[in-house]
């Protein structure tokens, strides 16, 4: 699975990658999660890339994010914005 900045950011925010896991290591982790079917890998990559490209990097708009219900980073970003 290709892991670019967008895919890496979304996977990290969702808690699919441990903190500090780089793109090279993330490639194997995310490929294993997507499963062996090429169609599943393509679908996961396309979805994560598109989502990552739309999400603000520095200040996520958690309330408008379609992944906010499953995002492990949401509480951290919301508390930083409030404080």
- The tens digit of pLDDT for each residue in 43-81 reads 877 877 777 777 666 666 777 777 778 887 877 776 666
Cα 80 from Cα 33, distance rounded (Å): 30
For position 57, what pLDDT does the model report? 62
3-state helix, strand, coil in the chain (%, to 5): 60, 0, 40
Per-position DSSP letters for 46-81, written without gaps between them: HHHHHHHHHS-SSS--GGG-TTTTT-TTHHHHHHHH
Question: Could you tell me how many residues make up the chain?
Answer: 83
Residue 37: pLDDT above 60?
A: yes
pLDDT grade for 25, boundaries at 50, 70 and 90? very high
């Amino acid at each position: 699975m290709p892991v670019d900045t967008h895919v890496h950011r979304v996977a990290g925010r969702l808690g699919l990658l441990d903190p500090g896991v780089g793109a090279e290591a993330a490639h194997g982790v995310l490929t294993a999660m997507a499963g062996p079917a090429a169609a599943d890998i393509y679908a996961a990559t396309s979805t994560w890339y598109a989502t990552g490209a739309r999400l603000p990097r520095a200040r996520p708009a958690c309330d408008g994010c379609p992944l906010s219900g499953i995002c492990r980073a949401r509480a951290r970003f919301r508390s930083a914005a409030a404080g």
